[in-house]
Amino acid sequence: MTITSPDRIERLILDQLSRREMRLLALLVSLRRALNGTTPFKGDLGRAVNAALRRLIASGTVQDTGGVFSLWPRS
């Protein structure tokens, strides 16, 4: 059984968000596709993505604007 680490989920989220703004469902679908291509995810991906997004928002890396997630603009 392969376990995907929270750090890997965060890196995949940041990779997807670096390309464009995304809503949660689109982010889940893109992460599921990315993980199935490399390492199948075991467990509740939605819960893992929500937890990773909370950490990234708390760290100031990601912004949530009415359910649309994006990276904070670089200054």
Tens digit of each residue's pLDDT (9 = 90 or more) over 4-15:
788 889 999 999
Tens digit of each residue's pLDDT (9 = 90 or more) over 20-65:
989 999 999 999 888 887 777 788 889 999 999 999 999 999 999 9
Side by side, which strands form the sheet with 68-71?
22-23, 68-71, 62-65
Q: Residue 1: which pLDDT band, with cuts at 50, 70 and 90? A: very low
Give the pLDDT of residue 2: 46
- SS3 sequence of the chain: CCCCCHHHHHHHHHHHHHHCCEEHHHHHHHHHHHHHHHCCCCCCHHHHHHHHHHHHHHCCCEEEECCEEEECCCC
pTM: 0.84
First to last CA, the chain: 42
